[in-house]
Amino acid sequence: MREDGKLDYLELPGGALGEVKAFYGAAFGWTFQNYGPSYAAFDQGLDGGFDADAGIGARPLPVLFARDLEAMAARVEAAGGHIVKPIFAFPGGRRFHFRDPAGNELAVWSET
């Protein structure tokens, strides 16, 4: 069951997506759900995906869940976080990205 503020998804840079999928498939038996030519999702204990889009950063992106995305964005800012990508839609829901006081980028998503 999804809970507000809990880790829910892990997005990783995909690089050469075919090679990455082949590696994780061969090494660990992972399978993937493709969402276009540059994104492949996995469900291997923690849901996640590899994003081969050239615009994505070169670091993992932990993604938290929120039932009320606008309220969570306000809480993040009130706590000292900095919104770096305002709320936007993506296949499956909406999300925003923020940096914590240490400079780590995370995202928060909602199904609505």
Mean pLDDT confidence for 73-91: 95
Question: Helix, strand or coil for residue 31?
Answer: coil
In order of start, what are the domains of the chain with their CATH numbers? 7-110 (3.10.180.10)
- Contact (CB, 8 A) for 107 and 48: no
Judged against a pLDDT cut of 80, whether residue 57 lies above it is answered with: no
Q: What pLDDT was estimated at residue 101?
A: 87
| Cα–Cα distances in angstroms (integers) from residue 89 to residues 49, 65, 93, 105, in the given order | 17, 14, 6, 18
C-alpha distance across the termini of the chain, in Å? 16
Tell me what pLDDT residue 87 has: 98
Q: What's the pLDDT tens digit per position in 9-28? A: 999 998 889 999 999 999 88
Please state the rounded mean pLDDT for residues 39-60: 86
Is a pLDDT exceeding 80 seen at residue 2? yes
Mean pLDDT within 28-55: 90
